[in-house]
């Protein structure tokens, strides 16, 4: 199959296809091969112009997109990303990943992704509101609670979802669950902001338990985390709650490293700074980052954390795609890292994945984002269910459902890896990379056969 010249999409496609080909799936069930060329083309792509007015009264223009990739399992579902790097290759890779991730949640959701090359950094709240309204003016006619339900991603959080929801409601005269990640007092789900980070840690809990026959937990483990947005913040808080030590966080300008562990107070400070698009560098002089008059964290400009963290047990890339290189993967393993799980989408380069997968025989275990970060969209699915019933579940109810979904997602990846493993006799842990890709793919493929999308 000839793929368009879209590097990130090609990378995501190759990850899936090589995981399938390097297993016994096609020898056991050759008909699944027919699904690949069909599932790799989006059902529909919408591309539109967004013009809006900045604070100086001038016109600005951006590209807007929605990739409606696959609706075999439910309405298209996936976030919106506002970032200057957004283009069709990025959104197609994200949409493609989302199809199989959503399948792994066990909930009824298809896959999609959208966004804009609008850069929210340095924009006033009024500019963000005007941009969101202009964006929704174009998107509104293509979405719906049973058609396509966007949510947040990089650059889109509760504030942006609120402005877009308001714009939709005014235009369509219709209050329905057309977006997830809504405010908690108006249709949002408890635990949705925490869900991706918490879910990531729940998934890794199971990895640790399985790999050590229940002998070890997060307690006392050193955990390197990258990123400082919503995923990284809540992953860090959950690691701390479970007794782990978070030794790093980062943003696009640099990394902070803390031998003794980043504290919940520091994470709260980072959380409020990030809402204002401030960099870590701008806030590390705040009092929560000093102890006895001395800096309690080290700041490394222009760096990602991986080669700077020293000995760690767990690494959770939670910033953006391709944020771990082959050399960084090697450095992590040399420093004793045993568990790597992505909070970001496609956080590891192909070279890094090869390093991790080759190290399974040395008890190194890697989980791809489409499994380990599925908690966010899972709670989005629970938000849709609550909206349909016009109810709101308690924190405990949502958190326990999230935990069950992540634990079952792990079991599904593990069992599928064992079932379709082509290298059964080789030593090492089963490949969660293969398990996640095969399990997600089979679920979508079976629905596509049943619905006549493939025959
Ligand atoms: N952007 C998140 C993801 O990558 C969540 C999407 C959603 O909740 O629809 O899975």
Written in H, E and C, the secondary structure of 208-225 is HHHHCCCCCCCCCCEEEE
Does residue 173 carry a pLDDT above 80? yes
230 assigned to a ligand binding site:
yes
The CATH classification number of 195-372 equals 3.40.50.720
**Is the domain defined by 40-175 classed in CATH 2.40.70.10?**
no
pLDDT of residue 424 exceeding 70, the answer is: no
pLDDT of residue 425: 56
pLDDT at 355 over 90: yes
Beta-strand runs (E) in 94-233: 111-116, 148-151, 222-225
Query: Annotation-wise, does 291 bind a ligand?
Result: no
Each residue of 273-293: pLDDT tens digit?
Answer: 999 999 999 999 888 998 888
Q: How far apart are CA 342 and CA 91, in angstroms?
A: 18
pLDDT in tens, 46-86: 999 999 999 999 999 999 999 999 999 999 999 999 999 99
The 3-state DSSP class for residue 14 equals helix
- Please list the residue range(s) of the chain that carry CATH number 3.40.50.720: 195-372
196 is in an annotated binding site: yes
Pocket of ligand 1 (CB under 6 A): 77-79, 151, 153, 180, 345, 376-377, 380
Distance 214 CA to ligand 1 centre (A): 31
Mean pLDDT of 412-437: 89
322-349 pLDDT, tens per residue? 999 999 999 999 999 999 999 999 999 9
Marked catalytic residue, from 33, 34, 92, 113? 113
327's tokens = 């050399």
Where do you find CATH 3.40.50.10860 in the chain? 40-175
* DSSP annotation string for 202-263: HHHHHHHHHHTTTS--STT-EEEE---SHHHHHHHHHHHHTT-EEEEEEETTEEEE-SS---
pLDDT tens, residue by residue, 261-274: 999 999 999 999 99
The answer on pLDDT for 426 being more than 80 is no
Q: How far is the CA of 455 from the centre of ligand 1 (A)?
A: 30
pTM for this predicted structure: 0.97
Q: What angle do CA 33, 74, 321 make, to 5 degrees?
A: 70
Between the CA of 198 and the centroid of ligand 1 the distance, in Å, is 14
Share of the chain above pLDDT 70, in %: 99
Coil, strand or helix: which one is 158?
A: helix
Q: How many residues does the chain have?
A: 455
| pLDDT attached to residue 292 | 81
For 367-411, what is each residue's pLDDT tens digit?
Answer: 999 999 999 999 999 999 999 999 999 999 999 999 999 999 999
Q: How far is CA 163 from CA 92, 170, 171, 224, 226, in A?
A: 25, 11, 12, 34, 29
Q: For position 27, what pLDDT does the model report?
A: 97
Active site residue 215: no
């Amino acid at each position: 199959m000839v793929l368009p010249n879209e590097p990130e999409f090609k990378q995501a496609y190759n990850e899936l296809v090589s995981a399938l080909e390097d297993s016994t799936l096609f020898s056991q069930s050759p008909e699944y091969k027919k699904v690949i060329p069909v599932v790799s083309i989006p059902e529909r792509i919408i591309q539109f112009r967004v013009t809006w007015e900045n604070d100086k009264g001038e016109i600005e223009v951006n590209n807007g997109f929605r990739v409606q990739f696959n609706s075999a399992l439910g309405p298209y579902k996936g976030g919106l990303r506002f970032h200057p790097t957004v283009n069709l290759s990025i959104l197609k890779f994200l949409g493609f990943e989302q199809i199989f991730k959503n399948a792994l949640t066990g909930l009824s959701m298809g896959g999609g992704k959208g966004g804009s090359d609008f850069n929210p950094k340095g924009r006033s709240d009024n500019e963000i509101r005007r941009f969101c309204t202009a964006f929704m003016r174009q998107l509104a006619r293509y979405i719906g609670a049973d058609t396509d339900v966007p949510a947040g991603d990089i650059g889109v959080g509760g504030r942006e979802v609120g402005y877009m929801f308001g714009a939709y409601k005014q235009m369509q005269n219709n209050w329905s669950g057309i977006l997830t990640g809504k405010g908690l007092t108006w249709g949002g789900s408890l635990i949705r902001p925490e869900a991706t980070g918490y879910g990531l840690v729940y998934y890794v809990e199971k990895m640790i338990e399985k790999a050590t026959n229940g002998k070890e937990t997060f307690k006392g483990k050193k955990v390197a985390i990258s990123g400082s947005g919503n995923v990284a913040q809540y992953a860090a808080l959950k690691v701390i709650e479970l007794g782990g030590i978070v030794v790093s966080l980062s943003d696009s300008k640099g990394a902070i490293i803390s031998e003794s562990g980043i504290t919940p107070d520091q994470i709260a400070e980072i959380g409020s700074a990030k809402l204002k698009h401030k960099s870590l560098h701008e806030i590390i002089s705040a009092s929560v980052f000093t102890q006895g008059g001395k800096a309690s964290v080290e700041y490394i400009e222009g760096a990602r954390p991986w080669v700077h963290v020293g000995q760690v047990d767990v690494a959770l890339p939670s910033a953006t795609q391709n944020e771990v290189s082959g050399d960084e993967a090697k450095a992590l393993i040399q420093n004793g890292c045993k568990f790597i799980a992505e909070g970001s989408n496609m956080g590891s380069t192909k070279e890094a994945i090869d390093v991790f997968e080759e190290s399974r025989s040395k008890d190194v275990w890697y989980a791809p984002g489409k499994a380990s970060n599925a908690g966010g969209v899972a709670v989005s699915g629970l938000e849709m269910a609550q909206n349909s019933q016009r109810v709101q579940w308690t924190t405990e109810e949502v958190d326990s459902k999230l935990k069950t979904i992540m634990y079952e997602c792990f079991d599904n990846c593990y069992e599928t890896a064992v079932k379709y493993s082509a290298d059964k006799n080789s030593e090492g842990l089963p490949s969660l990379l293969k398990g996640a890709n095969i399990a997600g793919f089979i679920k979508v493929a079976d629905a596509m056969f049943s619905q006549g999308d493939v025959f």
